[in-house]
């Protein structure tokens, strides 16, 4: 259900700029910061239902035009940052499309109930034995 890398590369846009942080003079010369822009509506490999599900899950990450922006500037290499943005997008899509299993309510086993009650009585007896004797 998650698209492969080649399909993603057809619909995303990349913007590069100079990044801050480590790198010395490299930071001032090289545009190593990569911003990936992904518009869910442009992704024709998703069905209408999947697009709606993605929009609902990723609503807070979308801008006014409905685009998702993913930025990477950890590495000094533009290529590595580009790869990281693609991996981040694929993980984001995978998480958004994951539907958790419905929980089946189960009864507490008798053995668990009995052991809990036994522990309670043992604790109660222990605390009772710590008390000062009542000499009346």
Read off the CATH number of the domain in which 11 is found: 3.30.160.20
- Which stretch, 40-44, 64-68, 113-117, 125-129, has highest mean pLDDT? 113-117
88 located within any domain: yes
125 located within any domain: no
82 located within any domain: yes
Please write the tens of the pLDDT for every residue from 9-55. Answer: 888 889 988 877 666 666 667 788 899 999 988 888 888 898 898 88
Give percent above pLDDT 70 in the chain. Answer: 92
135 located within any domain: no
What's the domain count of the chain?
1
122 located within any domain: no
Q: Assess contact for 63 and 102: CB atoms under 8 A.
A: no
Structure confidence at residue 23 (pLDDT) = 61
Q: Coil, helix or strand for 86?
A: helix
Structure confidence at residue 110 (pLDDT) = 96
How many Cβ atoms from other residues are within 10 Å of residue 32's Cβ?
A: 24
Show the domain range for 46: 5-97
Q: Assess contact for 81 and 74: CB atoms under 8 A.
A: yes
């Amino acid at each position: 259900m998650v698209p492969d890398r080649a399909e993603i590369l057809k619909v995303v846009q990349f913007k590069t700029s100079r990044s801050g942080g480590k790198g010395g003079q490299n930071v001032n010369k090289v545009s190593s910061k990569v911003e990936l822009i992904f518009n869910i509506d442009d992704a024709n490999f998703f069905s209408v239902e999947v697009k709606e599900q993605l929009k609902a899950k990723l609503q807070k990450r979308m801008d006014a035009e409905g685009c998702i922006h993913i930025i990477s500037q950890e590495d000094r290499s533009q290529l590595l940052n580009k790869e990281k943005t693609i991996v981040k997008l694929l993980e984001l899509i995978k998480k958004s499309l994951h539907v958790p299993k419905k929980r089946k309510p189960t009864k507490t086993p008798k053995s668990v109930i009995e052991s809990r009650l036994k522990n309670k009585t043992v604790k109660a007896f222990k605390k009772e034995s710590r008390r000062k004797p009542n000499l009346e």
